[in-house]
Every structure is written in C-alpha cells, then in structure tokens.
A and B are shown apart, each in its own frame.
Chain A
Amino acid sequence: MGDVLAVVIDGTIYASWLFIIAAGLTIVYGVMRILNMAHGSLYALGAYAATSVVGAWIRGGRAPLVSYALLIAAAIAVGLIFGPLIERGVLRFVYGRDEIVMVLVTYALFLILEDAIKLVWGVESYFITEPYGLLGTVEIGPLTYPVYSGALVLAAIVTGLLLRWGIYGTRYGKLLVAVIHDREMAASLGVNVRNVFLITFTLGTMLAALGGALTAPTVSVVPGMGVETIVLAFAVVVVGGLGSMPGAALGSLIVGLVRSAAVHFFPQVELFSIYLVMALVLALRPRGLFVAPEARKI
C-alpha cells in the first residue's frame, strides 16, 4: 500500500514537471502548427538564466526566500526576450510552409541555441542548491519529500488553470481558438493572426523557460540538458494529442505514473515503459487521446 502511495506521489511530481514543458510545446503546435524542436533549448535557457540570477542573488548574501520569485522572473524574462526574437526574426519567414520545413527550421534553431549556450556559459556545470532544501521536508510514511516538490505540483496546477482561463475565459483566448480552428477564416474576419502568433510563441517560450527555471534547483545545469527533456515532452504531447491542452495534462499524468510505477515495481523496464504507453495509445488512437478526427477541407 505504501508503495502505491509512493508511486502516486512520485508520478504526480514528475507529471507536474513534464506538464509545464509539454504545455508550451502543445500550445505552439496547436496555434501555429509548428513542432518546436528548439523547445528543449529554451528549457535549458530558462535553467541557465535562473541559475545565474539566483546564484548571484544568493552569493550576494540576500534573503534566499526571494529566490523563488527570481526563478519565475528569469523564466518570464527569457520568454519575453527569446519568444519575439525567434518568432519575428526567424519563424515568420517560413509561415505557411510544410510542417516538415518548420521542423527543420526549429531544429536548426535548436543547434544554434545549444552552441550559443556553450558560448555564454561554457561547458561546466552550474548549481543553485538553496531553493530546493529551503522549504523543508515532509515525512510521508517511510519517505521524505522536499516541500519544493509540492510547490512544483502547485505551480503546474496554477499554470494549467491560468492557461485554461486564458484560452476559454478571455477575448484573446477566443481569438486563439478561432485561429486554431481555421486560420484563414479567422484572418478574413479581421483577427490579427500575426499578433496571435507572436503572443503564442512568447507564451510557449515562457513555459519552456519556466520548466527549466523550476528544475534548475534540483539538477546540475549542463550543456545538452534540454535534449532528454524534449524527447519526453514529445512523448507526452503525442500521447495526449498534439495541440490539446487537456491532452498535455493527461499525457503528463499517464507518463509520470507509468514511469513511477515501473521504477518502483519493475525497474528493469523503466526505460521502455514510456514508449510502450506511447505505442499503445497510438495503436488505439493514432492522433492521441484528445484530438478528434479532422474533417478534410476541400
């Protein structure tokens, strides 16, 4: 019984981390039809930015509690700088091309960003250890969890709710839905698609960076850290359905719980478990759990 509880807790924490990253990936795809291969680099950028800012703050001997706000601020800053830069500077020139062209373009961006990170931060690793331990720990049965992990779960829920409210509860969200549904029709009805794309990509970048910034206190920030993450995030959005926000949430939860169950009960198949889920879902629902079959436009 204790093991099952541990599976649920570990799975939920892992899912929360995945959701923040996968949400950004899926919203960019849903609106812009761009499978953003550079999402992992933006995640890494968020982690690097957070480590630099919080590291400097703590070395200066200032109140460590502020570091949580700085983590989020670093992610927002990365989003506000790199989102418009990439969207206005690169992506807008390839809109309307085949989806595969978009994959190639964002893959090129991924390679450029990975090297740019090495140019700025070098190849050594960076840590900020303080925020992870600062909030203390809680005992659940024989296991100890840092409160920070609970905060991560909370952050994912808040992010999910904010996105839901933003998409279904605001005027901008309704425009977004219109663009997702039919870009040409939305444009001909006077929706400024250009702005919608700019804001969406900035939001996606911000979410990637937020994932990185919130992970930074628990890992060593090293070159290439985004690569593994992007593979997992892809698995999540494919399971949930590309472009679907509830899909990203459910996909994260499924992947998190399955992986955690594998680790606890069958560690030898852990590596394979996520791909097994992905294969099963795709065999039964080839477009993912939450994407309805699309009517063909003539």
Chain B
Amino acid sequence: MSRSRLAGSPLSLLLALAFAGSAQAQAPAPAPAAPEKPFKVGVVTFLSGAAAGPFGVPARNAAEVLAESINAGKAPAPYTKKGLGGRPLEVVFLDEAGGTAKQVSEYRDLVQRQNVDAVIGYISSGDCLAVAPVAEELKKLTLFFDCGTPRIFEENSYKYLFRTDAHAAMDNVAAALYVDELKPKLKSIAGINQNYAWGQDSWNDFEATMKALRPDVQVTTSQMPKLLAGQYGAEISALMSGSPDVIHSSFWGGDLDAFILQASPRGLFKKSTALLTAGETAMYKLAGQIPDGTIIGARGSHGVFAPDNELNRWLRATYQDRYSVPPVYPAYHMAQAILGLKSAYEKAQGGGAGEPSVDAIIAAFENSSFETPSGTIKMALGKGHQAIEETVYGMAKNSGGKLTFTHVKRFPAEKVNPPEGTKSADWIKAAFSKK
C-alpha cells in the first residue's frame, strides 16, 4: 500500500486517533506553575558485559536514587535545594559496553540528538581517553566519574571536561605506603594485573613507589594476564613459587572474583599477603573466601571506609532502601559526580535562581571543593579539572561470615596525589625516595 493511499483511508484516521489518544495519555498533567525545564544529564556506565554487575549497575542505581532524592529535596546540607538550584535533574542512561568507537558515536548522539545538558560517565579508562577530545570538540560539559588512568589531564588540558574521582596513582601510592608501614621486614613483592592501561599503570605506580621506599625489595614476578582471562592456575603457581611477602593486584569484576576463588583454596593468601586495590567491590559476595590479613582498598574513602557523615548516611540509606545491598565504591563515585555538578551549578547561580551559562558552571567548578559521602573532594589538579580525595586501606578480618577491618589507615589527599603540574611517574620517583 502506498503512502498516499494509506493517508486517505479510514484506517489511517483510526490510527491517527489511536496515536493521539495514547500521546495524550502519556503527557504529564499540566503543572500549576510554569514548570522548570529539567537539566538533562546523560549517564553512561556498563549496563551489560562483565563490568556491569560489580561496577556499572551500582553506579547506575546510585544515579537513579540520588536524582530522585535530590529532586524531592531530601538530600542533606549543603544540598537541600531541590534538583540543580531548583531545576529538576533528569537522567538518561546509556550502556558503556561495546568499545571506544561505539562510545564516541553514542556520545555524539547523546549531545547532538538527545540534547543533554551534561554527560556523566565512563568506567573504562579506554572510553575516557576516547571521549575526552570529543567532549572538547562538541563543547559539552562532561564529568568522568570512575575511570582511573592519570593520562587524561597529565597529557592534555580541557575546558569542558572534569573528573570527580582521583586517578589511579593515588590507589597504588597509598597501597605502597600502607605496605611500607605495616611490613617492616618486607623483602619481596609480586603482582598480578590485567594487561591493559589500568593494570599496567597500577602495577608500574605500585612497583615504582615500593622501590623508592625500599630500594632492596625484590620483585618475584609480575603477571599480566589478559583482561577477562578467567583461568589463573599457572599464574597462581608462578606467584606461589616465588613466595613473595605481598601480592599486588588491581583486578576488578569477574577477574577479581575468579582470582580469589582459585587462589584461596590453594592457600596463596595464607603464604603471601594479598593487596587488592579494588577489593571492596568483591567483599560482600566473597567474604568467606577472603582470608584474614588481606589488604583491601576502595579507590578512595568509599563504602566501608567512608566517613561517618550526614551525606554518607543519606547515600547508604537511600541506596539500601531501594536495592537492599550496601553501595560499593562505584556508587560513591557516582555520588561525587552528581554532587560536584550540583555544587558547581548552584555556585554559578550565585545565590539566585537563574539558569547559569555553561561557562559560568565551568568557572564555578574549576578549583572548587565540595562535600560528598566520601568527604571533601578538591578539584586540585589538571588546572582545576581533576579531583583529589582522601583514600583508605585496611586489613580484612572475617568475623561470622562478614568482613571487618583492622589497621585501617587514612591517607590525606595531598599525601597520595601528585602536586599540580607534575606527572605521577616523576612525582613518585622524586617524592618517595628515602634519603
């Protein structure tokens, strides 16, 4: 049937009526006052693939409940204003799976077709590196909330781009300082990290800091299995046969789970102390497999390590109410991004109720500091675009199937992040060599 014939037919009339009816049914009831135009944020995290369960979904969930709570005006001080300075916050979700090329075109779609006002996203360092120049090209306010590679602001500077979590140098420098303090007799270390930017950077920073702190330390082996390899039998043997004092791993997600499941029955963690920089995401599900003495990090003072403040209690209660599990660190990272945006937006309003320009939001965001469930975040690096935050490590202790922590040590942000203008690698070499 051709289009013109369909247009005149009674069927088309019926169809038109049906559509009109359904459109009316879906339209929101007219608000009594002139409704504020919502501030639309595209949120990109892994909704499928191996990183979805441990990272993407907790981050997505946090974005959902926090946006609702903020819009209802239920957030504690200093975020008591509804939405963003009175403007409702609308979030649209997008799956991060599919690789960098796909993410770049999805980003363009979000900005150019869906006309979002800002983008918060990206867990994978690869996606962050690919999206960064596009954000700048499209001049769209973009907040990286979780990815770790230091390269983003160490190799370039951006106007429209911010990162509200600290980069990975912090995790590994703090890890080395922790080991240095706790293991006075340390002789040897080993590593097992995934063979891509995140794993390689993590190991390099840890090894460099460790060698600067303890020039005599031996590296028995550095294993770099492929991402998502899943089988670590030979790697575990290689780690075991060197009997290192400490085994460093930045594994995450299914790889971390599989490594723990395979290493624990073989007694690897009893012979050597495991140091899991992203271990917090596995601690609830695998509590029974993580032996006492394992050193666990959460990439900042998140989750069990978060300070006891009003914002943290709000996040935990709001999240747990809806999803019946405690929020893990990607949820905290998401909270940092949303609250950072809210803080900058309201600061740009200057106490009024107007719609600030993007330039005004950026000016307010640069070099700002804001309160979060994880404490104060300072946009101190990358010309005011890269956050630094406090971080924490602790030793696991299993009590009745639940993990508690001993020897919890907090590292102030300035101690474990490089100063502005210095690359992490140079800073590590210069700062930690013991005279």
B133 within 8 A of A: no
Interface string of A238-271 (1 = CB under 8 A from B): 0000000000000000000001100110011011
Q: Is the CB of A13 within 8 A of B233?
A: yes
Residues of B within 8 Å of A222, CB to CB, are 50, 53, 253-254, 257
Tell whether, in the assembled complex, residue B230 and residue A264 are in contact, meaning their CB atoms are under 8 Å apart.
no
Chain B residues positioned under 8 Å from A2 (CB to CB): 241
A173 to B409, CA, bound (A): 65
Which of B67-75, B179-187, B282-290, B422-430 is found at the contact surface with chain A?
B282-290
Most chain A CB inside 10 Å of its own CB: which residue of B57, B195, B229? B229
Contact B240 A142 (CB under 8 A): yes
- CB of B223 within 8 A of CB of A129, answer no
Within A115-151, which residues are at the interface with B (CB < 8 Å)?
118, 122-125, 127, 129, 132-133, 137, 142-146, 148-149
Q: Does A200 contact B (CB under 8 A)?
A: no
What is the size category of the interface that chain B forms with chain A? 35 or more
Q: List, in ascending order, chain A residues with CB within 8 A of B226's CB.
A: 228, 270-271
With a CB–CB cut-off of 8 A, which chain B residues contact A142? 240-241, 243
B231 proximity list for chain A (CB < 8 A): 14, 17, 215, 218-219
Q: Does B54 contact A (CB under 8 A)?
A: yes
A143 to B253, CA, bound (A): 26
Does A9 reach chain B (CB closer than 8 Å)? yes
Q: Report the nearest A residue to B286, measured CB to CB.
A: A127
Given the known interface contacts A10-B233, A222-B254, A225-B230, the answer about A127 and B285 at a Cβ–Cβ threshold of 8 Å is yes
Which residues of B have CB within 8 Å of A270? 195, 223-226
Q: A222-B253, A228-B230 are in contact. Are A127 and B50 (CB under 8 A)?
A: no
A6/B50 contact (C-beta < 8 A), A137-B266, A271-B226 known: no
Note all chain B residues with C-beta closer than 8 A to A268: 222, 224
A3 within 8 A of B: yes
- Please report the C-alpha to C-alpha distance between residue A132 and residue B261 in the assembled complex, in whole angstroms: 8
- Residue B233 contacts which of A14, A122, A124, A220 (CB distance < 8 angstroms)? A14
Do the beta carbons of A220 and B257 come within 8 Å of each other?
yes
- Contact-size category for A: 35 or more
Q: Which residues of A contact B268 (CB under 8 A)?
A: 144
CB distance from B126 to the nearest CB of A (A): 16
Bound together, the chains give a CA A122 to CA B268 distance in angstroms of 32
CA distance A10 to B50 in the complex (A): 26
Q: Any chain A CB within 8 A of the CB of B228?
A: yes
Q: Is the CB of A146 within 8 A of B265?
A: yes
Residues of B within 8 A of A124 (CB): 52-53, 57
The complex places the Cα of A127 from the Cα of B262 at a distance, in Å, of 12
Contact of A220 among B48, B224, B237, B258 (CB under 8 A): B258
Could you tell me if A144 and B266 are in contact, using CB atoms closer than 8 angstroms? yes
Q: Which of B49, B52, B238 contacts A264 (CB 8 A)?
A: B238
Tell me if B221 counts as interface (CB < 8 A to partner A).
yes
- Using an 8 Å CB-CB cutoff, how does the interface string of B212-238 with A read, 1 for contact, 0 for none? 000000000111111011110111011
Q: Chain A contacts of B195 at CB under 8 A?
A: 270-271
Q: Is A72 an interface residue (CB 8 A)?
A: no
Which of A10, A118, A219 neighbours the largest number of chain B CB atoms within 10 Å of its CB?
A219
User: Are B237 and A143 in touch, CB under 8 angstroms?
Assistant: yes
Report B233-251 CB contacts with A as 1/0, cut-off 8 Å. 1110110110100000000
List B305-323 residues whose CB lies under 8 Å from chain A: none
**B67 to chain A: closest CB distance in Å?**
21
Chain B contacts for A145, CB-based, 8 A: 266
The distance in angstroms between the C-alpha atoms of A281 and B240, with both chains bound, is: 32
Min C-beta distance of A231 to chain B, whole Å:
10
A218 touches B234 (CB 8 A): no
Contacts A123-B47, A125-B257, A218-B262 given; indicate if A11 touches B267 (C-beta within 8 A): no
* Chain B residues whose C-beta falls within 8 Å of the C-beta of A125 in the assembled complex: 53-54, 253-254, 257, 285
Residue pair B57, A123 in contact (C-beta under 8 Å): yes
- Of residues 262 to 276 in B, which have CB atoms within 8 Å of A's CB atoms? 262, 264-268
Known contacts being A220-B258, A223-B49, A228-B228, is A267 close to B240, with CB within 8 Å? no
Q: Return chain A residues, CB-CB under 8 Å to B254.
A: 125, 219-220, 222, 225
A229 near B: Cβ within 8 Å?
yes
A263: chain B residues at CB < 8 Å are 223, 225, 234-235, 237-238
B257: chain A residues at CB < 8 Å are 125, 127, 219-220, 222
Provide the residues of chain B in CB contact with A223, threshold 8 Å: 48-50, 52-53
Residues of A within 8 A of B243 (CB): 142
Minimum C-beta distance from A267 to chain B (A): 5
Nearest opposing residue in chain B for A136, CB measure: B265
Most chain-A Cβ atoms within 10 A of its Cβ — which of B48, B53, B231?
A: B231
**27 pairs across A/B with beta carbons < 8 Å?**
A6-B238, A9-B237, A14-B233, A123-B47, A123-B52, A123-B57, A124-B53, A127-B286, A132-B265, A137-B265, A137-B266, A143-B237, A143-B266, A144-B240, A145-B266, A148-B265, A224-B50, A225-B228, A225-B230, A225-B254, A228-B228, A264-B237, A270-B223, A270-B225, A270-B226, A271-B195, A271-B226
Measured CB to CB, the residues of A under 8 A from B are 2-3, 6-7, 9-11, 13-14, 17, 118, 122-125, 127, 129, 132-133, 137, 142-146, 148-149, 215, 217-220, 222-225, 227-229, 259-260, 263-264, 267-268, 270-271
Inter-chain pairs besides A14-B231, A125-B53, A127-B285, 20 sampled, C-beta below 8 Å: A6-B234, A10-B233, A10-B237, A125-B253, A127-B286, A137-B267, A142-B240, A144-B268, A145-B266, A146-B266, A219-B230, A219-B231, A219-B262, A222-B50, A225-B230, A259-B234, A260-B233, A263-B234, A263-B238, A267-B235
- The 3 closest A-B CB pairs, nearest first, are A220-B257, A10-B234, A123-B52
Q: Spell out B's residues near A (CB within 8 Å).
A: 47-50, 52-54, 56-57, 195, 221-226, 228-231, 233-235, 237-238, 240-241, 243, 253-254, 257-258, 261-262, 264-268, 285-286, 288-289
